[in-house]
Amino acid sequence: MEAEKYPTWLAHKVLTDFDWAAATKTSMQELLKNITLHDSGCYKTFLDRVNSWVLVIQLDAIWNKDFCYNLEDWPFLILKFQKVFCSFQEFTEYELGSSIIGEAEALTIDSKSFADWMDYTKIAGFLPLDILQNLQAEGGLTRTEISTIYGGSLSLVHASAIEVLLYSEQGSQLAVNLSAQQ
């Protein structure tokens, strides 16, 4: 992967929208059972719609041979996190165009911790009541942590379900194979 370079078709899709009707629905935990994001290039995230984040990753085909169809090209993994309730990101000066991922993990926020957090949030008044009701309706949240080799990080608290698309370097959509275990 060449830093700070991405194809024209990708820029067009970011501006016009991806084909989310063709996306595979899964969880971040399930996705990370099938792939590793190690050494993949993470482009900056962007807000797709209200509370929805899209993350563009050029997936390392060496670490993910089965998932990437044993291609030499590094495909683009597009992740859509629905209902992002909280996000933090910090990248270093070395990570201008894209960041190289060191590791990624996804953790389920257990119901006790979630209930305690909800109680505290109501008392402290951090979030409006309608957002709190939306959180309760989700029935569970996931915290996804992505760190880069230069010390940057992205942390998202989001609804468990995510949507996944995979495109070749040339822009052809590829099927997402969640049975290609690492």
Largest CA distance in the chain: 54
Closest C-alpha among 55, 43, 53 to residue 7: 43
Please give the DSSP secondary-structure letter assigned to residue 82.
S
Please give the DSSP secondary-structure letter assigned to residue 182.
-
DSSP 97-153: SEEEEEEEEEEEE-HHHHHHHHHHHHHHT-S-HHHHHHHHHH--EEEEEEEETTS-E
Q: Are 36 and 182 in contact (CB under 8 A)?
A: yes
pTM for this predicted structure: 0.82
Q: Which of 71-85, 90-104, 162-176 has the highest mean pLDDT?
A: 162-176
C-alpha span between 121 and 44 (Å, rounded)? 29
Count how many Cα atoms sit within 13 Å of the Cα of residue 18 in the half-sphere of its side chain. Answer: 28
Please give the mean pLDDT across all residues of the chain.
81
Q: Are 76 and 57 in contact (CB under 8 A)?
A: yes
C-alpha span between 146 and 48 (Å, rounded)? 19
Q: What is the pLDDT of residue 2?
A: 46
Q: Which of 12-26, 27-41, 151-165 has the highest mean pLDDT?
A: 27-41
Domain positions in the chain are 8-174
Q: What is the pLDDT of residue 83?
A: 82
Q: What is the pLDDT of residues 108-133, one digit of tens each?
A: 887 677 667 667 667 766 666 666 56
Does position 35 have pLDDT exceeding 60, yes or no?
yes
